[in-house]
Amino acid sequence: MEGDDDVEMREWCHALPKIELHAHLNGSIRDSTLLELAKRLGEKGVIVFEDVEHIIMKYGRSLPECFQLFDLFHILATDHETVTRITKEVIEDFAAENVVYLELRTTPKKNEAKGMTKRSYMKAVIDGLRAVETVDVVLFDSSNENGSESTIINGTSAEMKRRKIYMGLLLSIDRRETTTAAVETVDLAVEMKDLGVVGIDLSGNPVIGEWQTYLPALKHAKEVGLPITLHCGEVPNKKEIQAMLDFCPQRMGHVCYLEEEEWKTLKSLKIPVEICLTSNVRTERVPSVEYHHFVDLYNAKHPLALCTDDPGLFSTSLSNEYFLVASAFGLSKGEMLQISQKAVEYIFADSEMKKSLMKVFEDAQRKLVL
């Protein structure tokens, strides 16, 4: 049972405006939606529903169970309608956690049987943004050069003053993809810059694929000025970690298996790190939150952002990640506010959006009890 202090701290972490920089669309699906979609697939005979039901219902899944769910996600989101629905719900859930800026990442998928191309998949994602009902979605718009705030794309705000969630989209290159497919994703990201796409991510099963396969696409992204974040060091792979550090992306996620030399390089390059505590513990990359490299990076004043990786998959929320930091490392409310506010500097959206977010934090500073 949690004491009164913990309950109060949880409430405070919930009220804190937060910046989410590392969340995958599929891994953020609501459990209730997952259950409903899995049931439907079971009825169609695509999967055996009973095999996945207990995993979906479970809080705190084991590593093999997480992998089973990963596989399920890939079968679920194969039509436009589902992609739109999932996106809408995911954004509403983040907004309900007081996430004020969300950089949502997803791998554009092809499904010829459903007439889905990478482009039409992304259109379905954007339709999901437009369908959000609970908050105004303010989308990064690279064509907006007049210095005014970016576009509200689901706007009813002319009549109603509502809360806002600022957003950017990242297109993920999956490690199973070929060089050609990876380049295609980068080209699509360039094409969609004025539709909220702010950067590129490299993700997927870390034991699959070679760095050299994605490098041409990542270099291309760099050349056209698209910011990049890499899932780095999820498994021990010295050669790849070194190559990723040499590439010097704008951000890195996880960085679990770095050796001393590589820590030094990371720190000297000051590459901001997306810290995913629960994800790293659940996938057994670190033994517990207390032993997480967050504390070393934090003490070294290294740029970092607390993130969920996947709130659905890992049964967490961004508020919970802040609570974990407070309880494990005894951080004060002021220090946590500072972590959240600092993350604004590492977002991939433009300076106008950063300015809007700084205002959100100035307001919060006045309202939050520290």
DSSP class of residue 167?
Answer: E
Residue closer to Zn ion, measured from CB, 97 or 309:
309
Q: Which stretch binds Zn ion (CB under 5 A): 8-16, 154-162, 233-241, 304-312?
A: 304-312
Helix (H) or strand (E) holding 21: strand 18-24
Tell whether residue 174 is a contact of Zn ion (CB under 5 A).
no
Residue closer to Zn ion, measured from CB, 97 or 136:
97
Q: Considering the candidates 177, 234, 240, 262, report the single residue annotated as catalytic.
A: 234
Which own/partner contact pairs does 328-333 have at CB distance under 8 Å and 24+ positions apart? 328/289, 328/290, 328/292, 329/294, 329/295, 329/298, 332/370, 333/12, 333/368, 333/369, 333/370
Which token pair is 100?
């004020």
Nearest approach in angstroms of CB 308 to Zn ion is 9
DSSP class of residue 150?
Answer: P
Tell whether residue 201 is a contact of Zn ion (CB under 5 A).
no
Strand partners, 309: 23
In the annotation, is 321 catalytic? no
Q: Which stretch binds Zn ion (CB under 5 A): 95-103, 151-159, 185-193, 301-309?
A: 301-309
Residue 200 DSSP SS3:
strand
Tell whether residue 103 is a contact of Zn ion (CB under 5 A).
no
Nearest approach in angstroms of CB 293 to Zn ion is 16
Q: Which stretch binds Zn ion (CB under 5 A): 45-53, 170-178, 307-315, 352-360?
A: 307-315
Residue closer to Zn ion, measured from CB, 141 or 309:
309
Q: What are phi and psi of 150, to 5 degrees?
A: -65, 175
Tell whether residue 240 is a contact of Zn ion (CB under 5 A).
no
Nearest approach in angstroms of CB 153 to Zn ion is 25
Q: Which stretch binds Zn ion (CB under 5 A): 76-84, 208-216, 235-243, 308-316?
A: 308-316
Among 309, 314, 324, 340, binds Zn ion (CB under 5 A): 309
Residue closer to Zn ion, measured from CB, 309 or 321:
309
Residue closer to Zn ion, measured from CB, 154 or 229:
229
Which own/partner contact pairs does 70-75 have at CB distance under 8 Å and 24+ positions apart? 70/27, 70/313, 72/34, 72/38, 72/47, 73/26, 73/27, 73/29, 74/26, 75/41, 75/46, 75/47
Residue 119, CA distances (Å) to 87, 112, 115, 162 in order: 16, 12, 11, 31
What number of chain residues touch Zn ion (CB under 5 A)? Answer: 1
Residues classed as catalytic: 234
Q: Which residues bind Zn ion (CB under 5 A)?
A: 309
